[in-house]
Amino acid sequence: MRHRPIYLDAHATTPVDPQVLAAMLPYFTEQFGNPASGGHVYGWEAEAAVQQARESLAAAINADPQEIVFTSGATEANNLAIKGVAEAYCAKGRHLITVVTEHRAVLDPYAYLQTLGFETTLLPVTATGLVNLAQLAQAIRPDTLLVSVMAANNEIGVIQPLAQIGAICHRHGVFFHTDAAQAIGKIPLDVAAMQIDLMSLTAHKIYGAKGIGALYVRRKNPRVQLAAQLHGGGQERGLRSGTLYTPQIVGFAKAVELSLATLASETERIQTLRDRLWQQLQAIEGIQLNGDPTQRLVNNLNVSIPGIDGAALMLGLQPTMAVSSGSACSTGKAAPSHVLTAIGRSPALAAASLRIGISRFTTREEIDQSAQIIIDTVQALRQATIKGSVGSRIF
Ligand X SMILES: *Cc1c(COP(=O)(O)O)cnc(C)c1O
Can you give the binding site for ligand X, defined by CB under 6 A?
A: 73-75, 103, 105, 150, 154, 179, 181-182, 202, 205, 213
Least distance from C-beta 312 to ligand X, angstroms?
27
Q: Nearer to ligand X by C-beta: 178 or 377?
A: 178
* Amino acid type, 333: K
Quote the CA–CA distance of 44 and 38 in Å, as a whole number: 6
| Residue (150 or 281) nearer to ligand X, CB | 150
> Do the beta carbons of residue 262 and residue 270 sit within 8 Å?
no
How many Å is the maximal CA-CA distance in the chain?
Answer: 84
Would you say 207 or 374 has its CB closer to ligand X? 207
Is position 329 annotated as part of the catalytic site?
Answer: yes
What's the closest the beta carbon of residue 97 comes to ligand X, in angstroms?
Answer: 17
Letter for the amino acid at 253?
A: A
Q: How far is the CB of 157 from ligand X (least distance, A)?
A: 10
Residue 193, strand partner residues: none
Q: What are φ and ψ of residue 17, in 5° steps? A: -65, 135
Cβ 386 to ligand X shortest distance, Å: 38
CB of 354 to ligand X, least distance (A): 17
CA distances from 113 to 8, 102, 150, 367 (A): 35, 16, 18, 43
73 vs 326 by CB, closer to ligand X: 73
Residue 215: closest CA among 232, 194, 196, 233: 196
Of the pair 209, 381, the CB lying nearest ligand X is at 209
Closest CA to 10 of 266, 189, 265: 266
Of the residues 116, 192, 193, 329, only one is catalytic, namely 329
Of the pair 74, 317, the CB lying nearest ligand X is at: 74
Nearest alpha carbon to residue 83 among 252, 245, 240, 232: 240
Residue nearest to ligand X (CB): 73
Radius of gyration of the chain measured on its C-alpha atoms: 22
DSSP per-residue letters across 179-205: E-TTTTTTS---TTTTT-SEEEEESTT
Nearest approach, Cβ of 260 to ligand X (angstroms)? 19
3-state helix, strand, coil in the chain (%, to 5): 40, 15, 40
* Segment (H or E) for 216: strand 213-217
Active site residue ranges: 329
